[in-house]
Amino acid sequence: MIFVNVILPVLLIFLSGYIIQRIYKLDLKPISTVAIYILSPALVFRTFYTTPLDVQLFYIVVISLLLLFGLIILTVITAKCFRYDKEQESALMLSTAFMNSGNYGAPIILFAFGPVGFSYAVSIMVFHSIIMSIFGVYFASRGQNGARLAIKTVLQMPSNYAVIVAVLLQKWGIIVPENFYQAIDMVAQAAIPIVMIILGMQLANVSTHQLEWKGLSLATVIRLIASPIIAYFICLWFPLDPILQKVLITLAAMPSAATTTMYAIQFNTKPQFVSSSTLITTLISFVTLTCLLNFLQ
C-alpha cells in the first residue's frame, strides 16, 4: 500500500518534531537560522560538488525554472484577482511557488522510485533550495522590507555561494582534502532530518482557530493540483528519462516547502499563514500524493 510504504515513514519524522515542540515549546528562530546558514549550504555544496554536470541536470534546471515562473505568474494573477496587498501576495507566493522537495519529497521519492529516483530527487532538491534561497528569500523579505533590502538579503545567503564554489571546483578538477570533505558531508547529512523535525515543530505552533481559509484554499489548489499539472505539460517538451519525468511531476505535487516557513519566521512575513499553509497542504497531500503515485506506478 502506497500510504503505509511511502508516506507513513516520512510522517513519523514530522511527528517526532511535533511532539517535542508540544512538550518543550522551543524557540524555532535560532534552530531555523542554523538550518539556513550552516546545514543547507553544506548540503548544496556536497551535491553540486559530486553530481555530474550532464544533460539531465540541465533539463532539471530548465524545467524547475519554467515551473517556478509558471507558478509565480499564476500566484500573482490570483493575488490581483483577490486584491491582496504586497505582504499577502508574498505570503501566498511562499505557500505556492516553492514545494517541499527536500525534507518531504526526497524521502517519498526514495520509497516510491528507489535509488535511481532518489539520486534525481537529491539534485532537484538542491536546485530547488537554491531557487528558494534566491526567490524565496526575496519574497519573504519583500513582504516587510521592500525589494531593495530583499535583494540585499538574497546576496547574503551562503547557499548561493556554496553552489558557485562547488561547480567551479568540479569543473576545474580541484579535489577537496578528504578530512575537510568528511566534515562537510557530516553537516550535509544532518540537513534533511533537521529540517523535517523543524517542520513538525512549526506545525505544532499552528493555531487552528486563526486559519485564513480563503487564502489557504487558494494555496492548496495551486500547490497540490495546478503545480503537478503544469509540471506534466512542461515535461512533455523534453526528452526525459521516464523515471526523471515521474520524479519531477511527483515533486511538483509536494506540499508547501518547510524552508519557506523558516523564511517567513526569519523575516516576519505572515508566518502564521505560511506555516498554516504548510500544515494544510501537508495533511491533504497524504491523499493527493497517494492518488498521484498510484497513477504513476
The structural domains of the chain, with segments of one domain joined by +, span 2-17+28-296
C-alpha distance across the termini of the chain, in Å: 12
**pLDDT beyond 90 at 5:** no
The string of pLDDT tens digits covering residues 228-276 is 999 999 999 999 999 999 999 999 999 998 778 777 877 778 888 888 8
The string of pLDDT tens digits covering residues 25-37 is 998 888 888 988 8
Query: Other CB atoms closer than 10 Å to residue 278's CB: what's the count?
Result: 28
Nine-digit cell string for 215: 487564502
**pLDDT beyond 80 at 15:** yes
- The mean pLDDT of the chain is 87
The string of pLDDT tens digits covering residues 188-209 is 989 888 878 887 887 787 766 6
List of residues 6+ apart from 122 with CB closer than 8 A: 47, 51, 106
Contact 68/97 with Cβ under 8 angstroms? yes
What is the CATH architecture of 2-17+28-296?
Up-down Bundle (1.20)
**pLDDT beyond 60 at 146:** no
